[in-house]
Structures are given as C-alpha cells and as structure tokens.
Chains A and B, each alone.
Chain A
Amino acid sequence: MKTNQEWPLWEVFYQPGNGKPFEHAGSVHAPDAEMALQNARDTYARRNEGIAIWVVPSDQITASTPEDVGPFFDPANDKAYRHPQFYSVPRAVKKRK
C-alpha cells in the first residue's frame, strides 16, 4: 500500500517593503525549513514581490473555527466608539501623514 509520501506543508508570508507587515502568500511543500524558504522564494517571490519571507509549518498554526465567528467578531459591530473616526485629528498631525 502506498503511504502518504508528500512533504510537510508550510505557510508562506512575505514582507512587501521595509516596515510593512508580513502578508500571507500561500503555501508550499518542503522537507525542511531551509528548503521551504527556497521553495517559497521560487514559488512566490519571482516577480519582485517583497524583501523578506517567513515560512511556518502549517501544523503549527492554531486557527479559529467557523463556529467562532459569532463570539470572536460580532462584539465589534455595536461598539462604533472603538473606531477612531470620531476623534478630530489636529491639523499638524494630518500634515505629517
């Protein structure tokens, strides 16, 4: 019987520029971390997409489930004061943006 011989899965994140947050690009198969990094480079960084790459074993990611949607995200909907648009921004700060 054929056993599953696929390499482990890795999630790939890339940083589009200096100081920018890392973004999820996709995933690759690789036997270990160094090869995951190289495969990520060859799969997702061929067109000048970024300046840094992270690879993380997919099984190390803990994810919320669809059932968590309510408890996790609903409370945000009725607390508009959590959004900053009600505060007037001083002109000097605006200019510096």
Chain B
Amino acid sequence: MSKKITNTKTDKELIIEILLRLADDRLIHGHRLSEWTGHGPELEEDLALANVALDMIGHAAALYRYAAVIEGNPDEDYYAYFRDDIDFKNVAMVELPKGDFAYTITRQFLFSVYSYFLYEKLIETVENEQFNGMLQKHFKEIKYHLRHSREWVLRLGDGTKESHERIQNAFDEIWMYTGELFSMDETEHTAIEKNLFVDVSELKAPWLEFVKETLEEATLSLPDDDQYMFTGSRQGRHTEHLGHLLAQMQFLRRSYPDADWK
C-alpha cells in the first residue's frame, strides 16, 4: 500500500518547523551536557562542558524566540517546557544518556562536525536575514565546540589503554545514530526550495572525511558505516531516553507554571 505524502505546510509553518528542528537538537544536547555540571573530571573541564551546554541552550533559545515571533506566540519557553516527546524533532543522538566522559566527548565531536558543515552551508543558502544572522553568530561557537571535542578525541584515543578502549566503544555505540543526521524528509525537501534549508545528505561525505581523519590521528578505528541506522526522531519517534529527560527538564515549569526568578 502506498500513500502519497503531500506537503501542505504554509511558508510560516515551514520556517517554524525548520527552526524547531535546529533548536530541539541544541536544547536536548545542551541539557545532556548540563548534567555534567559539578561532575566533570576536572574543575576546568567541568567549566568547559557547562560553557558548551550554555552555548547550545543559548542557540536553542534564540531559534525558539524567532519561531515564537513568527508564530505570534508570546512565550518561547512553551517550546521547551510544554511540548511532549512526540513533538520534539531532535535527532536521537543528542538524547542518549550522557554516559562516561569519553561517550559525551564522542557525541559532542560527531555532532559538532555535523553542525560545522551544516551551518557553513546554511549561511551560504538562507536568504532570511534574521535567521542567517543567528546562524553566523552561532557558527563561531560551533567552531570552538568542534575544536574542544576534537582535541579530546585525540587525547583519549591516543592516551592510555583504558581511555582508548572507552572512546572506541563510544564511537562504536553511537555510530548507529549518525545516519539520521543525513536523512531528508518531505519538510526538508520543501524547505530547500524556499532557501530555508540545505540538502543534508550532501554533508555526509565531508563529515565522514573529517571524522575519518581525526580517528586515524587518534589511533582509533572507524566504525562500520554499513550497519543498521536508527531513524524516525525528526518525525517524533524517539528512544525511551527523551521522555525521562523531558520529565526532569520540564517538571518544575509544569508543576509551578507561575514560578519566576524573583
């Protein structure tokens, strides 16, 4: 049985959907990184992880704010606190539990390489000035996230026997969640026609090349790319982990909707 998928999204709905996809990736990843606060392997690394978490949550907040303006929604926090897991459009990779330090660094690295190539291409493509301005601002921070995580991949890979094993395991475990980064759906194809998004499938080759070079330098082996890949998160079909994350992240705001900082 085949069903013709037709995209009936208006231009407004389309840009909101694109903004939310980008923002959800960054909010959920930022939240996972924030779980390290107070638990970092060294004081300095604790600060570094918290900084990156803040950067990513900042990127998400800016994207949500713009989506809220377009939607005519007075409260951008709504997107973070009052949607359920099926409404979140982040890739599964970012919702996986933080694991050990090697696991967190591996995820950060794989996602940062992807973000680097994605933002580079988006900045060339997106005609909407406000959207493009945000991308340019965030791109600088993405370059730092990439540098920080890449340096750690090199040190853990080419470090002790234990650090090598741990980070190799992390790459092997996370790899099945990388396929989603480069898969395209109807929304994205339509967004490309409106110069609001880019063909992410084209980012796979430069991403793989960059990852491969880093892994070689780190004396690590590239996981088998021809393996089962997790899919569906962009359409709201998440792993079990997102629900637990949201329960913690949204609890206070939902239980005390009027709470404020005063």
Contacts and interface: CB of A to CB of B under 8 A. Distances in A.
Interface stretch (B44-52, B79-87, B188-196, B234-242): B44-52
Nearest to A40: B44
Contacts of A29: 42-44
A41 B47 CA distance: 10
Contacts, number: 27
Interface in A24-54: 28-32, 34-35, 38-39, 41-43, 46
Chain A's interface size range is 10 to 19
Contact of B42 (A7, A32, A34): A7
B176 to A, nearest CB: 30
A46 to B, nearest CB: 6
B148 A43 contact: no
Chain B's interface size range is 10 to 19
Nearest to A10: B44
B51 A42 contact: yes
A46 B144 CA distance: 13
B51 A46 contact: yes
Minimum-distance CB pairs A-B, first 6: A39-B44, A42-B48, A42-B47, A42-B51, A28-B44, A43-B47
